[in-house]
């Protein structure tokens, strides 16, 4: 490899330096039909799964083809997206919050030709490159985090379980036959980058063992008071420990108080928390962010732990499928999962899905826990 | 022949959903072949080593990435996340594999010229692997080495007129839905205010001076497509104050079956004939609608703007004209003290350039939080610790019934000394004159 300079001069870092310029202006990137009709859209319609039309006051229409994608994406794949956008969309494309790709054109004919073209594009292993869907009352793409691909605190992988789950519920991505939208998300630890805590089905990586303490290194790698202060339950305290015949400053973990959040590890790398046997996935359901009919809700834990089963996480995918199937069979039109459960009651949710109710599911974290216990004579046998 | 056998990952190549494993393999093959004669500035086999380290994680059930370490570009305290592999001898091409966050254009519209330039940059100076996009909205360039960071930043700023996003205890890259650009529901121009605040607060975005991360998100309407209410320390969610606009002839067209209800969103199952009474009037959470078979009436004073009726009949019902946003504060994910939903701070704010009112609120909140917030304490946690009342005082707002779902359950109230005649000083002698010891 021969070093190739961008023009940056390490001897004079401030020479010609440009900073604080922010992102490019979005207006540069609008397809012309969007630029012409911004703020003047009248209505939209989903013509078929994955294909939307928006109609403006001017009478102009924009057709949007929405396709699923893996958020971990190579530049080779992005270049193929660019080729498609150049061919059908005059060089314009956008991405959605849920990692879908949107190709827009003002011609219905082009949109349909594009849809047919993209339906045939496959990766070498046989998977679709650009599955159309993610619209209406179905399952859209899963928003997720980095997992084992690139993160230092995960309790599970993200891209792998997401691929396995989307394969399992693929039919619902390309159809609109559920009672309402169903949003799945996955976070590989309880830090939860992304809105996993407000999803119809949220999957979250959990640890189940207190951190190991690398006493030899705690004093050298960590600010001990910060590690102590990082613990939300007061389970970490300073301790003097004997290492190789000498006394060192380290920490001690009160194992009964630890709820394995890993925040101490974030502050102190000498407290590793990952554990192949201890780690796995918890399943949460019934959350949402929309204010439609019912108010936004947090997801609630319904399965405390499923072991990591790479590469295809069969128990996780089967559990998700079970919940989706029970919801599809029993919910009324417009009910999100949480609204369906609010109507039938949690005891009925557990009997309909066949999920086991375990002691972990009764809240015992801080004051809000009390408000989740049953305080009425109304319940179902 | 692959550098590392990946029997477990190979199982993720089958099935219909796009396979990231196939995509990474395709990148690995392209880099090896290098048809464009790119002068790769980091080891060209890093996609293969990434698959190798991931395969090892699939075997061990544990990650093989270490804590970040401090790397970045001169003058910035965020935007680059240092990443090192804990098996560098086995996987030397990803021994250093830092992430570069690039601030995305608002609502993620691109042209291919820009995307191709980004691909060229990342082909040459990075792994060729990205996230489109990260959870917060950034373009995530996944994997490069320390000597490339300044080079990448130089090319981003000089050639692509682009800048880094946020990381660490600073303003994170703001994010918005696509707003009025392609959505008839949007109550304000989400992209414009997102960009304006991003530009106004570049210093806060690049140089960590906060107790912890701080997120702005902008949802154009209560449907909440970017999940602002669940994720953002400060969010604007579109709303309106006047009446829902009704086109009665379009209502009749929905009833008559000429227009597909829900814009076609439920068309995959036979739900029977559209029933306006059952599906809209009786589903309205505030029961503020009535339909007499000819005319749909809305008691707009009672409407809570949940969007249901508008979602069901977008050609008949439109958001009001006096539109703006509600301000919510303090949302966050669980770490540390549990998840928090955004709480309503201001029922209505006009969202018009230059957004002075919004900026004033933000800056008052920041001044207070930077003074009072503890290390790694999100705004929502500071509010919980010091009370919502304190926040109202800080922002200069009067308490209103809309601020609560219900009043407090307990009588443990704080009174201000000036609210109590005579203040808090007690006269013990006078007390003892009335009551013997």
B408 touches chain A (CB under 8 A): no
Block means of pLDDT (10 residues each) for chain A, 381 residues, are: 92 94 98 98 98 98 98 98 98 98 97 97 98 98 96 96 98 98 96 84 97 94 93 95 92 96 92 96 97 97 98 98 98 98 98 98 90 95 94
| Collapsed DSSP state (helix, strand, coil) of residue A269 | coil
Interface mutation target, options B66, B163, B182, B353, chain A, most CBs of A under 10 Å:
B182
Q: To the nearest 10°, the Cα dihedral for B27, B32, B38, B44?
A: 80
User: What is the pLDDT at residue A233?
Assistant: 93
CB-CB under 8 Å, B311 with A312: no
Using CB atoms within 10 Å of the CB of residue B270, give its burial: 0 to 12 exposed, 13 to 18 middle, 19+ buried: exposed
pLDDT more than 70, % of chain B: 100
- Chain A contact set for B130 (CB, 8 A): 72-75, 78
For residue B11, give the nearest of B46, B55, B48 by alpha carbon.
B55
User: What is the pLDDT at residue B334?
Assistant: 85
User: What is the pLDDT at residue A195?
Assistant: 64
The helix (run of H) or strand (run of E) holding residue B192 is helix B190-200
CB-CB under 8 Å, A79 with B113: no
CB-CB under 8 Å, B15 with A127: yes
C-beta separation of B127 from B41 below 8 A: no
Interface mutation target, options B35, B99, B135, chain A, most CBs of A under 10 Å:
B135
B43-58 mean pLDDT:
98
* pLDDT per position as a tens digit, B94-146: 999 999 999 999 999 999 999 999 999 999 999 999 999 999 999 999 999 99
CA-based R_g, chain B, Å: 27
Interface mutation target, options B2, B7, B9, B16, chain A, most CBs of A under 10 Å:
B16
- Tokens for B274? 């559209």
C-beta separation of A260 from A188 below 8 A: no
What is the complex's ipTM, to 2 decimals?
0.97
CB-CB under 8 Å, B18 with A68: yes
- The angle at the Cα of A251, spanning A246 to A252, to the nearest 5 degrees, equals 105
| Whether the predicted pLDDT of B70 surpasses 90 | no
| Whether the predicted pLDDT of B33 surpasses 90 | yes
Extended strands (E) in A132-228: 143-144, 184-187, 201-206
For residue A26, give the nearest of B136, B257, B103 by alpha carbon.
B103
C-beta separation of B373 from B386 below 8 A: no
* pLDDT per position as a tens digit, B136-157: 999 999 999 999 999 999 999 9
User: What is the pLDDT at residue A212?
Assistant: 96
Query: Which residues 215-234 in chain A show a CB within 8 A of chain B?
Result: 226, 229-230, 232
The set of residues, in sequence order, having a beta carbon less than 8 Å from that of B183 and lying 6+ positions away, is A41, A44, A54, B177, B220, B221
Handedness of CA B91, B93, B99, B104 (dihedral sign): negative
User: What is the pLDDT at residue B133?
Assistant: 96
- Chain B contact set for A212 (CB, 8 A): none
| Collapsed DSSP state (helix, strand, coil) of residue B143 | coil
CB-CB under 8 Å, B333 with A187: yes
Confidence of residue B2 (pLDDT cuts 50, 70, 90): confident
- The reported pTM is 0.97
Whether omega for the bond prior to residue B133 falls within 30 degrees of 0, making it cis, is yes
Q: To the nearest 10°, the Cα dihedral for A118, A172, A70, B182?
A: 70
Q: List the single residue in A64, A291, A366 with the smallest CB-CB distance to B222.
A: A291
Report the gap between the CA of A247 and the closest CA in chain B (Å).
Answer: 26
Q: What is the mean pLDDT of chain B?
A: 97
Confidence of residue B296 (pLDDT cuts 50, 70, 90): very high
Task: In whole angstroms, give the CA distance from residue B372 to residue B365.
Answer: 10
User: What is the pLDDT at residue A2?
Assistant: 86
- Chain A contact set for B8 (CB, 8 A): 310-311
- Chain B contact set for A145 (CB, 8 A): 135
CB-CB under 8 Å, B47 with A198: no
CATH code: domain B7-159 is: 3.30.70.2500
Task: In whole angstroms, give the CA distance from residue B343 to residue B341.
Answer: 6
Interface mutation target, options A4, A15, A24, chain B, most CBs of B under 10 Å:
A24
Report the gap between the CA of A150 and the closest CA in chain B (Å).
Answer: 6
Task: In whole angstroms, give the CA distance from residue A45 to residue B397.
Answer: 41
Beta sheet of A41-48, edge-to-edge order: A41-48, A51-56, A61-67, A101-105, A92-95, B109-111
Q: List the single residue in A30, A85, A129 with the smallest CB-CB distance to B181.
A: A30
| Whether the predicted pLDDT of B10 surpasses 90 | yes
Report the gap between the CA of A356 and the closest CA in chain B (Å).
Answer: 24
The set of residues, in sequence order, having a beta carbon less than 8 Å from that of A165 and lying 6+ positions away, is A142, A184, A186, A203, A313, A316, A317, A320
User: What is the pLDDT at residue B68?
Assistant: 73
User: What is the pLDDT at residue B354?
Assistant: 97
A57 touches chain B (CB under 8 A): no
The set of residues, in sequence order, having a beta carbon less than 8 Å from that of B433 and lying 6+ positions away, is none
| Whether the predicted pLDDT of B174 surpasses 80 | yes
CATH code: domain B245-318 is: 3.30.70.20
Whether omega for the bond prior to residue A291 falls within 30 degrees of 0, making it cis, is no
User: What is the pLDDT at residue A192?
Assistant: 84
Same fold, B175-239+324-418 and B245-318: no
Phi-psi region of B69 (alpha: psi -120 to 50; beta: other; left: phi over 0): left
CB-CB under 8 Å, A176 with B266: yes
Report CA-CA distances (Å) from B233 to B224, B272, B339, B381.
Answer: 15, 43, 12, 10
Dihedrals phi, psi of A63, to nearest 5 degrees: -100, 130
Query: Which residues 120-159 in chain B show a CB within 8 A of chain A?
Result: 122-125, 128-137, 142-143, 147, 150-155, 157-158
Query: Which residues 173-212 in chain A show a CB within 8 A of chain B?
Result: 173, 175-178, 181, 187, 190-198
Using CB atoms within 10 Å of the CB of residue A137, give its burial: 0 to 12 exposed, 13 to 18 middle, 19+ buried: buried
Task: In whole angstroms, give the CA distance from residue A236 to residue A105.
Answer: 58
User: What is the pLDDT at residue B1?
Assistant: 65
User: What is the pLDDT at residue A71?
Assistant: 97
Instruction: Please report how the helices A75-88 and B20-33 are oriented relative to each other, as an axis angle in degrees rounded to 10.
Output: 100
Interface mutation target, options B7, B12, B94, chain A, most CBs of A under 10 Å:
B12
Q: Under CATH, to which class is B175-239+324-418 assigned?
A: alpha beta
CB-CB under 8 Å, B105 with A20: no
B35 touches chain A (CB under 8 A): no
Indicate the domain borders of chain B: 7-159, 175-239+324-418, 245-318
| Whether the predicted pLDDT of B331 surpasses 70 | yes
């Amino acid at each position: 490899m021969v070093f190739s300079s961008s023009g940056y001069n390490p001897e004079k870092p401030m020479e010609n330096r440009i900073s604080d310029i922010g992102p490019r202006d979005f207006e540069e990137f609008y397809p012309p039909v969007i630029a012409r009709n911004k703020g003047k859209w009248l209505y939209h319609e989903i013509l078929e799964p994955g294909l939307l039309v928006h109609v403006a006051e001017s009478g102009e229409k924009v057709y949007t083809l929405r396709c699923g994608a893996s958020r971990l994406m190579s530049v080779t794949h992005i270049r193929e997206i660019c080729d498609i956008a150049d061919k059908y969309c005059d060089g314009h494309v956008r991405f959605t919050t849920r990692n879908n790709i949107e190709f827009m054109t003002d011609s219905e004919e082009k949109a349909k030709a594009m849809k047919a073209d993209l339906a045939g594009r496959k990766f070498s292993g046989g998977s679709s490159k650009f599955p159309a869907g993610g619209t209406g009352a179905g399952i859209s793409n899963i928003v997720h985090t980095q997992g084992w691909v690139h993160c230092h605190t995960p309790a599970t992988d993200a891209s792998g379980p997401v691929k396995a789950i989307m394969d399992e519920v693929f039919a619902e991505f390309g159809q609109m036959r559920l009672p309402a939208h169903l949003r799945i998300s996955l976070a590989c630890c309880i830090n939860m980058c992304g809105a996993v805590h407000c999803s119809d089905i949220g999957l979250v990586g959990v640890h189940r063992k207190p951190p190991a303490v690398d006493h030899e290194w705690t004093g050298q790698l960590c600010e001990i008071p910060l590690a102590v202060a990082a613990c939300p339950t007061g389970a970490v305290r300073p301790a003097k420990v004997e290492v190789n015949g000498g006394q060192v400053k380290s920490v001690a973990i009160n194992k009964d108080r630890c709820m394995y959040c890993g925040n101490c590890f974030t502050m102190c790398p000498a407290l590793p928390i990952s554990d192949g046997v201890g780690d796995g996935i918890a399943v949460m359901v019934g959350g949402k962010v929309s204010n439609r009919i019912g108010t936004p809700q947090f997801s609630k834990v319904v399965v405390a732990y499923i072991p990591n089963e790479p590469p295809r996480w069969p128990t996780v995918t089967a559990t998700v499928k079970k919940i989706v199937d029970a919801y599809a069979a029993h919910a009324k039109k417009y009910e999100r999962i949480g609204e369906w459960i609010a109507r039938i009651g949690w005891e009925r949710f557990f009997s309909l899905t066949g999920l086991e109710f375990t002691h972990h599911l009764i809240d015992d974290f801080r004051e809000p826990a009390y408000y989740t216990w049953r305080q009425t004579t109304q319940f179902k046998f | 022949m692959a550098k590392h056998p990946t029997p477990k990952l190979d199982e993720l190549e089958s099935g219909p959903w796009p396979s990231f494993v196939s995509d990474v393999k395709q990148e690995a093959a392209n880099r090896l072949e290098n048809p464009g004669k790119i002068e790769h500035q980091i080891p060209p086999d890093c996609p293969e080593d990434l698959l190798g380290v991931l395969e090892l994680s699939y075997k061990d059930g544990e990650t093989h990435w270490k804590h970040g370490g401090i790397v970045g570009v001169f003058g910035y305290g965020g935007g680059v996340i240092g990443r090192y592999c804990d098996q560098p001898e086995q996987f030397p091409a990803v021994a250093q594999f830092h992430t570069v966050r690039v601030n995305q254009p608002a609502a993620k519209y691109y042209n291919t010229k820009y995307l191709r330039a980004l691909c060229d940059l990342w082909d040459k100076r990075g792994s060729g692997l990205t996230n489109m996009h990260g959870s917060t909205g950034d373009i995530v360039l996944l994997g490069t080495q320390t000597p490339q960071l300044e080079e990448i930043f130089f090319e981003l700023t000089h050639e692509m007129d682009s800048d880094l996003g946020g990381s660490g205890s600073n303003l994170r890259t703001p994010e918005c839905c696509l707003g009025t650009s392609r959505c008839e529901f949007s109550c304000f121009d989400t992209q414009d205010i997102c960009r304006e605040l991003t530009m106004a607060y570049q210093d806060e975005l690049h140089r960590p001076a906060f107790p912890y991360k701080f997120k702005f998100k902008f949802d154009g309407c209560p449907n909440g497509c970017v999940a602002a209410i669940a994720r953002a320390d400060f969010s604007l969610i579109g709303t309106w104050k006047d009446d829902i606009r009704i086109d009665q002839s379009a209502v009749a067209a929905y009833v008559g079956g000429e227009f597909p209800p829900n814009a076609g969103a439920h068309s995959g199952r036979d739900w029977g004939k559209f029933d306006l009474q059952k599906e809209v009037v009786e589903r309205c959470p505030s029961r503020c609608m009535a339909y007499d078979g000819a005319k749909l009436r809305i008691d707009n004073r009672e409407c809570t703007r949940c969007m249901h009726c508008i979602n069901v009949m977008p050609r008949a019902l439109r958001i009001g004209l006096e539109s703006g946003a509600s301000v919510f504060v303090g949302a966050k994910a669980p770490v540390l003290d549990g998840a928090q939903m955004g709480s309503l701070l201001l029922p209505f704010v006009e969202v018009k350039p230059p957004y002075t009112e919004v900026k004033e609120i933000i800056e008052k909140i920041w001044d207070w939080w930077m003074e009072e917030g503890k290390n790694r304490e999100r705004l929502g946690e500071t509010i919980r610790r010091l009370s919502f009342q304190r926040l109202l005082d800080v922002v200069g707002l009067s308490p209103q019934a809309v601020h609560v779902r219900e009043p407090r359950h307990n009588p443990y109230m704080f009174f201000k000394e000036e609210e109590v005649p005579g203040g808090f000083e007690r006269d013990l002698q006078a007390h003892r004159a009335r009551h013997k010891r």
